Amino acid sequence: MSWPTAHSIKALNGFQVPCNVERYYTIAKANQLLDIDFEESFFVLGQGTNTLFIEENIKSNILHMLETGINILDENDKEVYLEVKAGNSWPEFVEWTLYQNFYGLENLSLIPGSVGACPVQNIGAYGVEVMDLIHEVKGFSIPQGRFISIAHDACEFTYRNSIFKGKLKGKFIITSVVFRLNKTFSPNISYQPLRDYFKDSSGFTAQDLAQAVIEIRQSKLPNHKEIYNCGSFFQNPIVSKDKLNQMIDRYPEMPVYAFGDQYKLSAGYLIESCGLKGFTLGNVSTYHKQALVITHNGLGNGREIYEFSEYIIREVEKKFGVKLHREVNVVGNV
Ligand code: EPU
């Protein structure tokens, strides 16, 4: 167990906002969780690539999940079950699966963050959501004081959401994720830009698909190590058919995706339509190639980013009557 120390986590969050924590623990082995006093408030940190710290001094215990390792739990001709520790880097793990010829995660290449964070917001990109490949999630149950496993069906996965953001928030600490991956490659190119990318190819490999995803990502999304950001800042809003019908007459070119008996709109389109793509206030901007991404020049703070996002929410609501919800985790008193 590392002794808790005062610590700056500026370099440990995607926005690189200044933030000092009073008690910082590195969790290099899951068993260390047995020694933590969970009566005190705490925050679990992976790679900080989806978290906005809005206060410069945090009193909570920060638990930085650093345990790494991958174990094959079981396999047959068709599938493999892998247990991956929470502290593994997500993009490195995806790359590793491709070298092993384990398939299913190609479309989720290059998403920044840790493996332990991936089920929390059910990360997704280019037609795949991680829930499609998760068999179970293991971790420490605070109310029960022991390690338990949560089967896929109990994880309550939906678009950018899960039980870990809901009922189990603050009650369960993910220590590893068990994935069920395929041994045969069955590409998902349902996302239009991927279909376009491969339209003249007669055959392609999982590596080719991963490469296509990487190129598409890089053409639209900034690298958080160079331009500080946390990916999509807002979720794409879900609206009813009635609401959609009211909007579509005025905005016939608006992208719309079926979502059960509702419709998913593109938050990037809504923000751009308010004239707010590549828009800057102080140290904070929307990215000039993808309005859904908020970027920080490194000179501001979390509060400024939060206020900026409030402004975006207000403007979109004024124009479209649609309220955007943050996808990024906000830590601190708003
Ligand atoms: N669009 C605009 N203006 C913009 C951005 C997008 O008009 O500034 C339009 C695009 O032209 C397109 C549509 O909106 O017609 C969708 O855009 P895109 O394909 O770029 O995807 P997105 O819906 O904006 C979502 C995810 C991304 C993921 C991509 C690709 C959410 C919140 N975001 O973005 O995930 O990479 O789809 O699958 O669902 C993330 O979660 O951090 C993230 C980057």
Q: Which CATH class is domain 70-182?
A: alpha beta
Distance CA 281, CA 267 (A): 19
User: Where do you find CATH 3.30.43.10 in the chain?
Assistant: 2-65
Distance CA 256, CA 239 (A): 10
Distance CA 43, CA 61 (A): 6
Residue ranges lining ligand 1, Cβ < 6 Å:
125-126, 191, 220-221, 231-232, 235-236, 255, 266, 268-269, 272, 277, 290-292, 327
pLDDT reading at 38 higher than 80: yes
Interval 99-150: pLDDT, tens: 999 999 999 999 999 999 999 999 999 999 999 999 999 999 999 999 999 9
Active site residues: 160, 232, 327
pLDDT reading at 3 higher than 60: no
Given pLDDT bands bounded at 50, 70 and 90, which one contains residue 300?
Answer: very high
pLDDT of residue 202: 81
Max CA pair span of the chain: 60
Query: How far does the centroid of ligand 1 lie from the alpha carbon of residue 51, in Å?
Result: 19
φ, ψ (nearest 5 deg) of residue 37 = -90, 100
Q: What is 2-65's CATH number, 3.30.43.10, 3.30.2400.10, 3.30.1300.10, 3.30.420.10?
A: 3.30.43.10
User: Where do you find CATH 3.90.78.10 in the chain?
Assistant: 228-331
| Nearest Cα residue to 276 out of 311, 307, 227, 325 | 311
Topology at the third CATH level for domain 228-331: 3.90.78
| Nearest Cα residue to 284 out of 56, 8, 13, 16 | 16
pLDDT reading at 6 higher than 80: no
Interval 180-223: pLDDT, tens: 999 999 999 999 999 999 999 889 999 999 999 999 999 999 99
Query: How far does the centroid of ligand 1 lie from the alpha carbon of residue 238, in Å?
Result: 14
User: Where do you find CATH 3.30.465.10 in the chain?
Assistant: 70-182
